[in-house]
């Protein structure tokens, strides 16, 4: 029962939100949460790449599905840090839209 409870808690707990300029190769393959604005959307046959800016930096987030994202939308992304062609990026697992204030 105790292990099952820990599993449920670990699945439902979001990682701590960090700033994009805090992302480095020391957290490669770790799950992170960032909040920022979409500055570019690139759509391919079976995936999309979103460029996200949080005023400390910009990072690409990849997702293996097609969604209707637009520039200037504010989003929170939970995903895993990966490296592709010597650049760090986030493999997005969950994207939510933020309310504008």
- Give the other-Cβ count within 10 Å of 74's Cβ: 16
Paired sense of beta strands 48-53 and 58-63, if any = antiparallel
Q: What CATH number labels 16-97? A: 2.40.50.140
Residue 94: pLDDT band by 50, 70, 90 thresholds?
A: very high
Computed from CA positions of residues 50, 92, 68, 19, in that sequence, does the dihedral angle turn out positive or negative?
A: negative
**pTM of the predicted model as reported, rounded to 2 decimal places:** 0.84
The pLDDT tens digits of the residues spanning 2-28 come to: 666 555 555 557 898 999 999 999 999
Within 8 A by CB and 6+ apart from 98, the residues are 35, 74, 75, 76
Q: Is 74 helix (H, G, I), strand (E, B) or coil?
A: strand
The pLDDT tens digits of the residues spanning 50-64 come to: 999 999 999 999 998
The pLDDT tens digits of the residues spanning 34-90 come to: 999 999 999 998 899 999 999 999 999 999 887 888 999 999 999 999 999 999 999
């Amino acid at each position: 029962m105790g292990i099952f409870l820990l599993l449920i808690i670990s699945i439902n707990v979001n990682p701590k939100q960090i700033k994009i300029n805090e992302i480095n190769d020391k957290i490669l393959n770790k799950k992170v949460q960032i909040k920022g604005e979409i500055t570019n959307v690139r759509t391919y046959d079976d995936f999309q790449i979103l460029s996200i800016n949080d005023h400390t930096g910009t990072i690409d987030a990849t997702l293996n599905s097609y969604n209707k994202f637009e520039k200037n939308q504010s989003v929170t992304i939970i995903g895993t840090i990966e490296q592709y062609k010597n650049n760090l990026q986030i493999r997005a697992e969950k994207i939510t839209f933020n309310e504008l204030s």
